[in-house]
Amino acid sequence: MTTLRIEQAAIMLDDKIHTLPRPARHSDVMAMLGEANGRWVLASGSQGFTTNEGGFVDRIVGAKIARAAGQIIARRDGHINTDGRDLFSEDLW
């Protein structure tokens, strides 16, 4: 059995998952979409993550998955998100 893991920061927009390779952050995905679509995507998109099983999860579910998989690392400022509700790409890479 494979452990469920977080793979990439992602934006769900118009029922389509948009990602960039790690270590891309949500802002990188938003910039890519903004250039391609000519519109600000945060207002109409949902931020989350893809998993190694190919699914999209929101920040809350992503935090639970990343903690269970032991993926949380210390951020540049030394903070470790051990109990935060939401997951951020800074918590992973």
The whole-angstrom separation of Cα 81 and Cα 5 is 16
Chain Cα centroid distance, residue 33:
15
Average pLDDT, the chain: 88
Q: Helix, strand, coil proportions of the chain in percent (round to 5)?
A: 25, 25, 50
Residue 51 has pLDDT above 90, yes or no: yes
Residue 61 has pLDDT above 80, yes or no: yes
Domain boundaries, the chain: 6-91
pLDDT tens per residue across span 74-90: 887 877 877 788 999 99
In this prediction, residue 56 has a pLDDT band, given cuts at 50, 70 and 90, of very high
The answer to whether 58 and 48 are in contact (CB under 8 A) is: yes
Residue 41 has pLDDT above 60, yes or no: no
What pLDDT is attached to residue 17? 96
